[in-house]
Amino acid sequence: MSGERIEVRIEDPGDQEEIEVIELKVAAGASVQEGELLLEIATDKANMEIFAPAAGVVDELHVAEGDIVASNIVLMVLRT
């Protein structure tokens, strides 16, 4: 692994300011493949799924299930 750090954020939640983390599908230290489901979130309009932008390891996990987060927060960091 090259060690590149990739921040996973909510790409486009629309005009939503608060987003709830419904379910984490991975834990810190887990290996993930590109396109793998990482977590599910909910706004007042819809539920969304967040997928891994690249293969790597979940290096940092910044949210927990039930957290209410802002739309531009770093959810987790992958190390490739």
What pLDDT is recorded for position 12? 64
CATH fold of 5-79 reads OB fold (Dihydrolipoamide Acetyltransferase, E2P) (2.40.50)
Instruction: Evaluate whether 76 touches 60 at the Cβ level (below 8 Å).
Output: yes
Q: What is the pLDDT of residues 28-80, one digit of tens each?
A: 999 999 999 999 999 888 899 999 999 999 999 999 999 999 888 899 999 99
pLDDT (0 to 100) of residue 71: 80
Count each helix (H run) and each strand (E run) in the chain, helices first: 0, 8
Residue 44's pLDDT is 83
The whole-angstrom separation of Cα 52 and Cα 72 is 17
